[in-house]
Structure 1
Amino acid sequence: MEETCGTARRSRGADAVAVITIGALSALTIVGRQFSAERIGWLIFDISVGVISCALLPLLSRRPVPAAVLLAALAALSPAATPPSTVGTLTIAQRRPLRLAALVALAGVAGHLVQGIWRPIDGLSLLWYVILDLAVHAALLGWGQWTQARRALLDSLRERALRAENEQGRRIAEARTLERTKMAREMHDVLAHRLSLLATYAGALEYRPDSSPEKLASAAGVIRTGVHQALDELREVISVLRDTESDDLPGGRPQPTFSDLTELVAESRDAGAEIRYDEAVTAPESLPPATGRTAYRVVQEGLTNARKHAAGYPVTLLVRGQPGGTLQIELTNPSSNGVPLAPGSGTGLVGLTERVHLAGGTLDHGKAADGGFRLHASLPWPA
């Protein structure tokens, strides 16, 4: 509020200074013309017209066109109105379209032409007066239109800069959202597998308290090692997300690829899962790394869900593919009527579906023909 009032006071102050300045120019014009005229009557008339013209100047900010035309008419009566009329013509040229500004400029030319005929300047022919009249108003019109075009250009550049800044902000917000989504997906893929293994060992400790101290100690050691691995993998995921261009994890360990499927299956078997793994893949070394990572995540998610919802039941994993075709991954397991080993949010398959789609493949999941669960992924494999 105080800033608005301060701006209004500065604007009124600038208007007052402009009126006083133009009034001074009108006074000088009157004095210059009266020295040659030497008639007191014209002096009084010119002073009156000059005062009226200066009083009309504030109207240029509210009603610019009528005020400029009225000032042009007063310029036809007295040279004292010439400075205010010039300001009016320039104001219209700066604020209004070319056609309207040209009409106001013509009114100013006509007003001054009448003044030159009615009250000629000593030593200046009418022809030169007309030439000067046209030149001055043409210059005012051109100056005003150039100023208007420059202001419009600066406004458009300012708007484009603001729009670009807003667009950049929107892109940053979208990038942050995508980064958070990617982080959540990576955490689910990596940690859900590891934690489900820990839940399996913890379940064994819970349901077999009569085991020998050696077995209990061994299971506890596996759980401790698994917790450390889960923490390490969490740090690795966050590190990778900070540098999406890197294909290596901290410590120089590469991200999982298709060749790591065997180790993944072996890890699940060590946790007590029964897995029938059948692989028939031609030239697996030619599989693109991104496709291999996606295949690894598909199998990892499938084994994790089987361990959660059908613990103790056998899992069948079939992997087929060759260059120039597709990589087919199918994982099936019987349904379980028991309580899930670990609660699931249902978002893992959603993120996995998006990951497969981004790789150009398809993912199907749901009930199998025998009533169990089936997860099937098809990934393109260029030749």
Structure 2
Amino acid sequence: MEEICAVSRRDRWANVVAVCAVGALTGMTIFGRQAGDLQPGWLALDVVVGIVACGLIPVLGRYPVQGALAQAALAMLSPAATPPSTVGTLTVAQRRPVRTAALVAAAGVVGHFVQELWRPINGLDLGWFIVLDVAVHAALLGWGQWMQARRQLLNSLRERALRAENEQGRRVAEARTLERTKMAREMHDVLAHRLSLLATYAGALEYRPDSSPEKLAKAAGVIRTGVHQALEELREVISVLRDSEIDELPGGRPQPTFGDLAGLVAESRDAGTEIRYAETVAAAESLPPATGRTAYRVVQEGLTNARKHAAGHPVTLVVDGKPGESLRIELSNPSGNGVPLAPGSGTGLVGLTERVHLAGGTLDHGRAPDGRFRLEASLPWPL
């Protein structure tokens, strides 16, 4: 509301200044024509026409065409309307299409031509007056159209810059959201793996209370270390989801690669899971990092599910492939008794399927005819 009032006050002051300036030019025009015009009675007509023509200047802001045509008509009666009529023609040329502005300029030419016929300027030939009249109005028309085109160009550039800025901001926000979601998924997989290990050790303590003090102390130490690591990883997940400006995981921890697969298997074996691991991968160093990371997540999710749903049963893991074909992962284990060792969200395989599909691969999982649960993934491996 305050901005609208400020604009309205600005427009009123602009009209006052314009009327005063054009009124001064009108007074000078009247004085100059009266000095060379000996016919009585022209002064009163010039003063009245000048006042009316100047009074139409504020009207140009809302009705530019009507106001300019009225000023052109007044220009037929008196040279006092020439300065206001010039302002009207220029205003229309600045605000209206070229055809409308040309018609208004033509009306101005006709109005001044009629004025010259019955109130000629001493010492100026009619032919030269017509040339000057047409030239002046053509210049006003061209100037106004140029100003209109320039204003439209600046507005267009300003709008394009604003749209580009908004689009860039939207792309940055989308990229940050996508990156945060991806990092949160990575940390979710890591955290689920860590908690499944803790559940395995806790289950061993629960079902084997007669173990030796050394084994109990070792299991308790592993649980304590695992809990500490799980808390750190949970804190990282929360920070990723809370901080909109984060660019990488806290601590700069690198993403896992295919080379970390052996360590993942060894960690699961240390937790008490029997794993039969067979790897026949040729030229593993040429495996794309994204493919290796996806393979790691597939094996991690498979081992996590095996510990949850088939604790105490052996797991068979086969990884093979070579460049130009594909990287194949097959993980199988006997079906459990239907009671998971630790509760889960049930969305791990859904997210894993999406991850594999985004990598251009395929993922199948389910119960095989022999009663074992199988998880099979195939990832592209270009040359």
For 2:15, the equivalent position in structure 1 comes to 15
The equivalent residue for 2:268 is: 268
| Cα shift at 1:156 | 0.4
Offset of 1:231 from its aligned partner?
5.5
Matched residues in 2 for 1:40 and 1:372: separation?
A: 120
Question: Counterpart in 2 of 1:33?
Answer: 33
TM-score by length of 2: 0.91
Distance apart, 1:64 and its partner CA: 1.4
How many angstroms does 1:257 deviate by? 2.4
Q: How does 1:360-379 map to 2 (within 5 A)?
A: 360-379=360-379
* Letter matched to residue 329 of structure 1: I
Secondary structure in 2 matching 1:242? coil
Give 3-state SS (helix, strand or coil) of 1:272's partner.
coil
Answering whether residue 357 of structure 2 is matched by residue 357 of structure 1, we say yes
Letter aligned with residue 344 of structure 2: G
Structure 2 equivalent of residue 143 of structure 1 = 143
SS of 2:354's equivalent in the other structure is helix
The superposition leaves residues 66-85 of structure 1 with CA deviations (integer Å, 9 ceiling, x where unpaired) of 21111111111110111111
Deviation by residue 1:237-288 (Cα, 9 ceiling, x = unmatched): 989x8359xxx955xxx64322332222222122111222222223333323
Contact 1:328–1:377 (Cα < 8 Å) also in 2:
yes
Displacement of 1:36 in angstroms is 0.9
Which residue in 1 is equivalent to 2:286? 286
Q: Using the alignment, how far apart are the partners of 2:112 and 2:342 within structure 1? A: 94
Q: Deviations over 1:52-105 (max 9, x none)?
A: 112222221222112111111111111011111111100110000111111111
Letter in 2 for 1:185: R
Tell me the SS of whatever aligns to 1:263.
helix
Q: Which amino acid aligns with 2:382?
A: P
1:301-380 alignment to 2 at 5 Å? 301-380=301-380
* Cα 1:236/1:3, change in 2 over 3 Å: closer
Which region of structure 1 is more displaced relative to structure 2, 289-298 or 151-160?
289-298
Paired residues, what number?
A: 376
How far, CA to CA, are the matches of 1:109 and 1:275 in structure 2?
99
Q: Residue type of the partner of 1:242?
A: D
List gaps (5 residues or longer) in structure 1. Answer: none
* Counterpart check, 1:45 vs 2:77: no
Cα shift readout 1:291-315 (whole Å, capped 9, x = no counterpart): 2222111101111111122222222
Contact 1:89 1:105 in 2 (8 A): yes
Give, in whole Å, the separation in 2 of the partners of 1:176 and 1:285: 30
AA of the residue aligned to 1:303? L
Partner of 1:92: 92
Larger displacement relative to structure 2 (51-60 or 227-236) = 227-236
Please say if residues 278 and 317 of structure 1, whose CA atoms lie closer than 8 Å, have aligned partners that are also in contact. Answer: yes
Map 1:120-199 → 2, pairs under 5 A: 120-199=120-199
The aligned runs of 1:218-297 (5 Å cut-off) are 218-230=218-230, 242-243=247-248, 250=253, 255-297=255-297
1:93-121 deviations in Å (ceiling 9; x for gaps): 00001111111111111111111222111
Where do 1:200-211 residues align within 5 Å? 200-211=200-211
Aligned ranges for residues 61-76 of structure 1 at < 5 Å? 61-76=61-76
SS of the residue 2:295 aligns to: helix
- CA drift of 1:338 comes to 3.6
Check the 8 A contact 1:185/1:348 in 2, yes or no.
Answer: no
Q: Tell me, yes or no, if the aligned pair for 1:236 and 1:249 is still in contact at 8 Å.
A: no
Cα 1:370/1:118, change in 2 over 3 Å? farther
Aligned to 2:79: 79
- Structure 2 gap ranges (5+): 241-245
SS at match of 1:330: strand
What CA distance in whole angstroms lies between the structure 2 residues aligned with 1:104 and 1:307? Answer: 88
Which residue identity is paired with 1:131?
Answer: V
Distance 2:53 2:32 in 1: 18
Partner SS, residue 57 of structure 2: helix
The CA deviation at 1:234 is: 6.6
Inter-partner Cα distance in structure 2 for 1:4 and 1:39:
50
| Aligned counterparts of 1:49 and 1:209: Cα–Cα separation in 2 | 114
Structure-1 separation of matches of 2:87 and 2:127:
24
- Report the more deviating stretch, 186-195 or 367-376: 367-376
Q: Classify the secondary structure of the residue corresponding to 2:378.
A: strand
Whole-angstrom CA distance in 1 between matches of 2:173 and 2:259:
36
The whole-number CA distance in structure 1 between the counterparts of 2:367 and 2:78 is 98
- Work out the CA distance in 2 between the residues paired with 1:129 and 1:374: 100
Instruction: Give distance in 1, aligned partners of 2:192 and 2:12.
Output: 70
Residues 25 and 302 of structure 1, relative CA distance in 2, 3 Å threshold: same
Q: What's the secondary structure of 2:60's corresponding residue?
A: helix
Task: Between 330-339 and 75-84, report the one with greater CA deviation.
Answer: 330-339
